Amino acid sequence: MNPIVLALNSGSSSLKFGLYRVGLASLDVLHSGEAELKSIDDTQDALIGIAELLTKARMPVPTAIGHRVVHGGPQLRDHCLISDAVLGQLETATAFAPLHIPPALSVIRFAREHFSGLPQAACFDTAFHAAMPDVARTLPIARELRSQGIERYGFHGLSCESIVRQLGSDLPERLVIAHLGNGASITAVKAGKSIDTSMGLTPTGGVIMGTRSGDLDPGILVYLAREKAFNPVMLEDLVDRRSGLLGISGVDSDMRRLRQAASSNADARLAIEMFCISVRKQVAAMVAAMDGIDMIVFTGGIGENDAQARAEICRGLSWIGIDLDEPWARCRVLVLASQEDEQIARHTCELTAGN
């Protein structure tokens, strides 16, 4: 019988799930959905609800469970089966992604209790970027800090994997993946491998995001700490929860609501313009890293659904061959759905094949 994998994709404010039958050359979606999380305490209720939903729908019982984990820290760079030791390492890695790892750990712990005896796997967003060349991975800080695991990790790796998989034989030599959602990143993929990406040590860096600042002059944080008495908790709250589209606009972090407000609100218009230019700059940087571009793929909530944002990003990039309106453009522009949960199911099946 083909394995039945329950994929659990926990974010900072939601828990997505998918139940899959995984074959040698196929993957069938049996059921999927999403639960909103207002706090970490909601994760247990959400998991119980998912289990009840699958039971009522008479779905087959899963034979394994896979979890999306944003960051595994310096010790966990490859997808792996979850053990007590792995859980301990994930707890240590919380400092690298405080928005994402605590809810993921809550889901993992409760899933191990609720589905006792089932093998469970951790699938890392950082794994796709683990082999980036030193010139991209190394951060320009003191050597003794770099030796402690402070480097560029990159994120949205499961999404990038899914794009590469979907392209298959159509995969170009030089690909830019623009994963644009509440979290957003730009990745340069050369010959199927990540060679550079916009996010760094944490998922806060890179382009402007919904509530995250993206790249900042580090002197801003030094100034706030020294002159305004910001402590680490206050700085973290600022750059992760009160910046980005929300911080610029003062209206919302959701691009759809900003579009609605833009006709009468100058700050909402500014937030949209800054977001698009931020992405455009990073696309150009990835083109420079690859010495050219053959294709750009837009994915994620904004990337897949906001045609106006795609047009605004591509506007001004015709000089490198990106043009949505011209059939002769040297660079193909595609929109593909991110399939993170499917990737979780595939990796989980591979990792648990021996059980």
Q: What whole-number distance in Å separates Cα of residue 302 and Cα of residue 253?
A: 12
Angle 335-303-297 from CA coordinates, rounded to 5°: 40
Q: Are 115 and 62 in contact (CB under 8 A)?
A: yes
Q: What whole-number distance in Å separates Cα of residue 140 and Cα of residue 150?
A: 10
Buried b vs exposed e over 237-250: b needs ≥16 C-beta within 10 Å?
ebbbbebbbbbbbe
Q: Which residue has the tokens 């779905």?
A: 59
Catalytic residue among 28, 41, 42, 125: 125
Q: What whole-number distance in Å separates Cα of residue 296 and Cα of residue 318?
A: 13
Tell me the one-letter amino acid at 99: L
Q: Which residue has the tokens 């691009």?
A: 255
Beta strand pairing call for 120-124 and 80-81: antiparallel
Q: What whole-number distance in Å separates Cα of residue 200 and Cα of residue 208?
A: 13
What's the CA dihedral at 304, 123, 346, 305 to 10 degrees? -10
Residue 91 tokens read as 């707890």
Q: Which residue has the tokens 């906001």?
A: 306
Helix (H/G/I), strand (E/B), else coil: 195: strand
* E-strand stretches of the chain: 4-10, 14-22, 27-36, 64-69, 80-81, 120-124, 174-180, 184-190, 193-197, 295-299, 332-335
Q: What whole-number distance in Å separates Cα of residue 306 and Cα of residue 153?
A: 28
Q: What whole-number distance in Å separates Cα of residue 107 and Cα of residue 198?
A: 28
Beta strand pairing call for 174-180 and 295-299: parallel
Tell me the one-letter amino acid at 63: T
Q: Mark whether 42 is an active-site residue.
A: no
| Catalytic residue IDs | 125
